[in-house]
Each structure stands twice: as structure tokens, then as C-alpha cells.
């Protein structure tokens, strides 16, 4: 009988210890890290969607605006550069790599803006159904990129905070010593200036 009671005590102790550990935040760090990585996948997915739209947009504009070759070339080159810079989840703790990725994407954004401005010089292009559909998809994608980036920033903020606050700080300093804070997106240079609207 005493043996059964001691076994029951061991089982109760193990269950209690398991519940205590699950409530103390041990799983918080890996959970938040995986959420941030998933949000990064959302960002990459939206950038890929934009990259996939560009050849169709360029081809549509090419038919109307052959003399705008420099703008089209800039878009194609910016797209090529943006697709060359790969940033996977293991690189998210390196701010320099994230900045290089962000700079390439910003260059592509600027080139696309110049391409969309070309339509003002070509009335036929403005009314082309293919161009309008591609422009709408591109605008939708830019909005989706913004939402995905905001989600990533929020997830990274939560993860980084978990590495520095109690009680998860205890786990970060013991079992998760290799975990480093992840880099966040930063505002582009010149983004503090409002855009100028000209009619």
C-alpha cells in the first residue's frame, strides 16, 4: 500500500511540475520566435507576388511607351536586384542583411512609382484594361506588403520583448542562450518628408 501511495505521489509531483513549467513561460520564447518567422514568410510572399506582377506590367507598358526605355530598364534591373537578395528566417537577427533586403525592395518600389507615372504621358495606356488590372493588383499588393510588414514588426517586437522581460528572461538566459533579438524594418531614408502632389 505504501508503494502505491509513493507512486501516486511521484505521478502527482510530475504532473504538478509539468503544469508549473508550462505556466512559467518556457514555451513563450520558441512560440514567439516561430510566430515572427511565420510573419516573415508573409512578408516574403507579398514581395514575391509583386515581383511576379512586374513582367506583365512592363510588357503592357512596353507596347505603348517604347521611348520610355530607361524607366522600363530601371524597373527590370531593380526587380533583378530585389530577387537576388535572399533573406531567410535564420538571417532575421542580422540588421545589416535586413537593411540590404529592405534597400533593394525600396529601390524596386521607387522604380515602380516612376513606371506608373509614365501612364500620364500616354492616354491610350491609361485606358488599357490590362494595364488598369495590373495597376490595381500592384496597388493591392503594396497594401498587402504594408500589412505583412506591420505583422512582422509586431511579432518581432513581442519576441524581442520576451528575451528581455521576466519571467521569460530566465529562460532566455539559461535554455535559450543562442536566441538573439530579431531585426525590425526601419523607415526608408526620406520617408519623414511628405510626398508632393502635383496637378
CATH code of the domain covering residue 88 = 1.20.1440.20
How many Å apart are CA 92 and CA 96, to the nearest integer?
Answer: 10
Residues 6 or more apart in contact with residue 160 via CB below 8 angstroms: 181, 182
How many Å apart are CA 3 and CA 100, to the nearest integer?
Answer: 65
Residue 4 lies in a domain: no
Task: Give me the domain span that covers residue 124.
Answer: 28-174
Total domains, the chain: 1
Report the pLDDT value the prediction gives residue 5, as an integer from 0 to 100. 67
Give the residue, 27 or 147, on which the prediction is more confident: 147
How do residues 20-66 score in pLDDT, each as one tens digit? 555 567 889 999 999 999 999 999 999 999 999 999 888 888 878 77
Residues 6 or more apart in contact with residue 92 via CB below 8 angstroms: 36, 37, 40, 98, 156, 182, 183
pLDDT at 197 over 50: no
How do residues 175-195 score in pLDDT, each as one tens digit? 899 999 999 887 676 655 544
Residue 168 lies in a domain: yes
How do residues 65-122 score in pLDDT, each as one tens digit? 777 888 888 999 999 999 999 888 889 999 999 999 999 999 999 999 888 888 778 8
Report the pLDDT value the prediction gives residue 103, as an integer from 0 to 100. 93
Residue 183 lies in a domain: no
Report the pLDDT value the prediction gives residue 126, as an integer from 0 to 100. 75
Report the pLDDT value the prediction gives residue 67, as an integer from 0 to 100. 74
Residue 151 lies in a domain: yes
Residue 182 lies in a domain: no
Report the pLDDT value the prediction gives residue 12, as an integer from 0 to 100. 72
How many C-beta atoms lie closer than 10 Å to residue 129's C-beta?
A: 8
Cis peptide preceding 167, ω within 30 of 0: yes
Report the pLDDT value the prediction gives residue 199, as an integer from 0 to 100. 30
Report the pLDDT value the prediction gives residue 82, as an integer from 0 to 100. 93
Residue 11 lies in a domain: no
pLDDT at 151 over 70: yes
Amino acid at each position: 500500500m505504501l508503494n502505491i501511495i509513493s507512486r501516486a505521489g511521484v505521478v502527482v509531483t510530475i504532473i504538478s511540475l509539468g503544469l508549473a513549467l508550462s505556466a512559467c513561460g518556457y514555451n513563450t520564447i520558441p512560440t514567439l520566435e516561430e510566430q515572427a518567422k511565420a510573419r516573415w514568410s508573409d512578408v516574403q510572399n507579398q514581395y514575391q507576388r509583386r515581383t511576379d506582377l512586374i513582367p506583365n506590367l512592363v510588357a503592357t507598358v512596353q507596347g505603348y511607351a517604347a521611348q520610355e526605355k530607361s524607366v522600363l530598364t530601371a524597373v527590370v534591373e531593380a526587380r533583378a536586384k530585389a530577387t537576388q537578395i535572399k533573406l531567410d528566417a535564420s538571417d532575421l537577427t542580422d540588421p545589416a542583411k535586413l537593411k540590404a533586403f529592405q534597400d533593394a525592395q525600396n529601390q524596386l518600389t521607387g522604380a515602380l512609382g516612376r513606371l506608373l507615372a509614365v501612364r500620364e504621358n500616354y492616354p491610350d495606356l491609361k485606358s488599357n484594361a490590362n494595364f488598369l488590372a495590373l495597376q490595381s493588383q500592384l496597388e493591392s499588393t503594396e497594401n498587402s506588403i504594408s500589412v505583412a510588414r506591420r505583422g512582422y514588426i509586431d511579432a518581432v517586437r513581442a519576441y524581442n520583448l520576451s528575451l528581455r522581460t521576466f519571467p521569460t528572461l530566465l529562460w532566455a538566459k539559461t535554455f535559450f542562450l543562442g536566441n538573439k533579438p530579431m531585426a525590425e524594418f526601419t523607415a526608408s531614408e526620406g520617408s519623414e518628408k511628405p510626398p508632393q502632389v502635383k496637378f
